[in-house]
Amino acid sequence: MSTRRTSHAWHLLLAPLTLAFALPLVWLLLSSVMSDAEINRFPPALWPDGIHLGGYRYVLGNAMFPRWFLNSLIVSTVAVASNLLFGALGGYAFARMRFGGSRLVLGLMLATMVVPFQLTMIPTFLVMKWFGLIDTLGALIVPSLVTPFAVFLFRQFFLSLPREMEEAAWIDGCSRLRVLFSIVLPLARPALATVAVLTFLTAWNDLSWPLIAINHDTQYTLQLGLTTFQGQHHTKWSAVMAGNVITVLPVLIAFLLAQKTFVQSLTSSGIKG
């Protein structure tokens, strides 16, 4: 009974907080279907007089906006796929294989997670310039092919799995790669979903690096394009709000689809040596 009362007390506390965090998103959605006159009204209108889709028509009618959306989708999809593949390979190697200096390499890799982007920005730019990738989508894809966080999360999850099934497969003659892809990864769906969601969020919402590496508007990502779009159309707020809704929608859908596995991964991937 006391546990149930504690749970209800937490719900009473979390419900107002959830509402407070959801209000900006609700306001964004409502503003996107308002007319410019309603948005500019003072005091501001809290509810639209009707559904006005002029902002969405204006945004989708912009020749560059679908291209920016496609660029972001390409960069985010490649980043997710590569982090799932390389992160799983690296995480499995650190979790199951012992080689000279493995702990040192793991420590150095994890240390890079605390290095600010500002310190690596210029070296990364010079490397991408040397490869001739500046002002192409490759400059956005290559630096995000694998992240230390993905390797670390996979390692922690693999450490929580029992070795017995893997050892039985080794006795039957399976290679390490076959064990990984046939036995281990099917059990690692929570970790896969977590890495996929967090990588997608990072790649989709990234603005700093595209702002540095991309110059031509045909190579803009959605975040970078929306920033320039907002600067050029600051008086047409309905279009700006509609563009923001379109930008936020894929992120929201991705998180909602993977919410259960995301929580499961965080609760099952404890810190292990």
Contact 75, 140 (CB under 8 A): yes
With 70 as the cut, is the pLDDT of residue 261 above it?
no
Q: What is the pLDDT of residue 1?
A: 47
Mean pLDDT of the chain: 81
With 50 as the cut, is the pLDDT of residue 270 above it?
no
Distance of alpha carbon 248 from alpha carbon 261, whole angstroms: 21
**pTM score, two decimals?**
0.81
CA dihedral 170, 176, 181, 184 (to 10 degrees): 60
Q: Of 149, 165, 154, give the one whose Cα is nearest residue 198.
A: 149
Distance of alpha carbon 66 from alpha carbon 72, whole angstroms: 10
Percent of the chain past pLDDT 70, that is, above it, reads 85
Residue 42 per-residue DSSP state: S
Q: Of 197, 188, 225, give the one whose Cα is nearest residue 210.
A: 225
Tokens at 57, concatenated: 């028509």
Residue 181 per-residue DSSP state: I
Half-sphere exposure at residue 183, Cβ-oriented, CA atoms within 13 angstroms: 19
Could you give the residue ranges of the DSSP H alpha helices within 62-137?
65-96, 102-111, 117-130
Q: What is the pLDDT of residue 273?
A: 44
Q: Which residue has the higher pLDDT, 199 or 254?
A: 199
Give per-residue pLDDT as tens, 158-201.
888 888 777 777 777 777 888 888 888 888 888 888 899 889 98
202-214 burial code (b ≥16 CB/10 A, e <16): bbbebeebbebbb
Q: What is the pLDDT of residue 9?
A: 63
Least confident window among 97-101, 133-137, 172-176, 228-232: 228-232
Q: What is the mean pLDDT of residues 94-123?
A: 84
Q: What is the pLDDT of residue 176?
A: 80
